[in-house]
Amino acid sequence: MSTNATLPARLAPFLARRRRSYYLFIAPALVTIGAVIIFPWLYTLWMSAFDWTLGSAAHYVGFGNYEKLFGNQRFGEAVLHTFYFTALAVAAPLLLGTAAAMIFHREFPFRGVLRGIFIMPMMATPVAVALVWTMMFHPQQGVLNYLLSLVGLPPSLWVYSPTLVIPSLVLVEIWHWTPLVMLIVLGGLAALPTEPYESARLDGASEWQLFRYITLPLVAPFIAVAAVIRTIDALKTFDTIYVITGGGPGTASETINIYLYLQAFAFYNIGTASAVVVVFFVIVLALALLLLHVREKTKWM
């Protein structure tokens, strides 16, 4: 009789059947991920081992594409441009966004309306934003040089100068994405406990001390989240740069993405482009791990 057997023993076959049916449920997800993530990934790896230009035959070259990339001055410069652009395009919005959040955290008249206006850039389409900025950067007819002339400054070449092009592009990023950082940090500020401030005030702490030793450490995890989002966004920036400069003047603002686009879709060098993707992936992965590590350290909740 069934009562002789222990309960777990009686359940075992049932559980085994259940387990089999679990697999059935995750199968669609597995298949989808396999088809849209894992397969393309492996195929890219595979293609990066070929010397293949569309319209010509493919030859197996092993690590040949990678060797060429590492010896390629232009690719090296593209990597440096990417880091330079990313560093500026992360740091500046973080600083300004945090400052803006501190301001908007206080009570003042029309705060809601002003906050709404402040976040409007975020809603604009990057390509449209880029086109407008292109006009504003124009050395003869652009509004930026006109503004400079109003305050008596000499005109600048903005994106038309090889040395100024990346900082100028970062200007667009700052305008576009500072509001995002502000929103995240503002959310953080709203969640802060009030007790530490009260006791610090009793101990006679100054406003700066309150900010430096209480607000900043407490809000740090939120800034870290904003940093992760900004870093990913900045690394993958393509539309702004492509529309405004196309990587120019010359190659002065050519980032890995622009270089990759040229190789894949202008020169049709599929092998080289695949190798660039793989290298870029490794870079993104390394940066992501680094940022996760930072996030762990800033955790307090």
Partner 1 sequence: MAENGRNKGVEQERRRLLQAGAGAVALGVIPGASQLAAHAQGAFDWKKFKGEKIEVFLVKSPRGDLLTKYHKEFEDLTGITVGSEMIPEQQQRQKAVIEFNSGNTSFDVIAISYHVQKRLFGKNKWLDDVRPMMADKSLVDPNLDFADFAKGGLTYATQADGRIDSLPLNLDPWVVYYNKELFDAKGVAYPKNFAEMVDVAARLNDPAKGVSGFVARGLKNANVPVWSSFLLGYGGAFIDANGKLMTDTPEALEAAKMYQTLLAKYGPQGVAGFNWNESQSLFLQGKAAMWLDGIGFAQPLEDPTKSRIVGKVGYGVMPTGPKAQVSALFGDGEGISTFSKKKGPSWFYLQWASNKANQTRMLQAAAGAPVRNSAYAAAQSSADFKAPKQWVECMLTSARIAQPGLPVIAPVTEFRDVFGIALTNMINGADPAAELKKATAEFQPILDKSEKT
* Interaction site with partner 1 (CB under 8 A): 53-57, 138-141, 155, 157-162, 245-251, 262, 265-268
Least separation, in Å, of the C-beta of 56 and partner 1?
Answer: 4
Least separation, in Å, of the C-beta of 58 and partner 1?
Answer: 9
DSSP readout, 107-120?
--TTHHHHHHHHTG
Please say which residue, 121 or 126, places its beta carbon nearer to partner 1: 126
- Whether 239 contacts 126, CB under 8 Å: yes
3-state secondary structure 252-273: CCCCHHHHHHHHHHHCCEHHHH
Least separation, in Å, of the C-beta of 128 and partner 1?
Answer: 16
Residue with token string 């991920």: 33
Residues 6+ apart with CB under 8 A from 219: 98, 185, 188, 189, 192
Please say which residue, 227 or 241, places its beta carbon nearer to partner 1: 241
Least separation, in Å, of the C-beta of 171 and partner 1?
Answer: 16
- The one-letter amino acid code at 125 reads T
- The radius of gyration of the chain from alpha carbons, rounded to an integer in Å, stands at 26
Cα of first residue to Cα of last residue in the chain, in angstroms, is 54
Please say which residue, 161 or 298, places its beta carbon nearer to partner 1: 161
The token pair that represents 131 in the structure block: 């086109």
Phi, psi at residue 60, to the nearest 5°? -75, 130
What proportions of the chain, in percent to the nearest 5, are helix, strand and coil? 75, 0, 20
Report d(CA 67, CA 24) in Å as an integer: 44
Please say which residue, 126 or 162, places its beta carbon nearer to partner 1: 162
Give the alpha-carbon dihedral of 169, 170, 171, 172, to 10 degrees: 60
Tell me the HSE value of 110 on the side-chain side, using a 13 A CA sphere: 4
Strand partners, 60: 50
Least separation, in Å, of the C-beta of 210 and partner 1?
Answer: 47
Least separation, in Å, of the C-beta of 137 and partner 1?
Answer: 9
Least separation, in Å, of the C-beta of 249 and partner 1?
Answer: 4
Please say which residue, 217 or 246, places its beta carbon nearer to partner 1: 246
Report d(CA 257, CA 275) in Å as an integer: 13
Phi, psi at residue 59, to the nearest 5°? -120, 140
Least separation, in Å, of the C-beta of 254 and partner 1?
Answer: 9
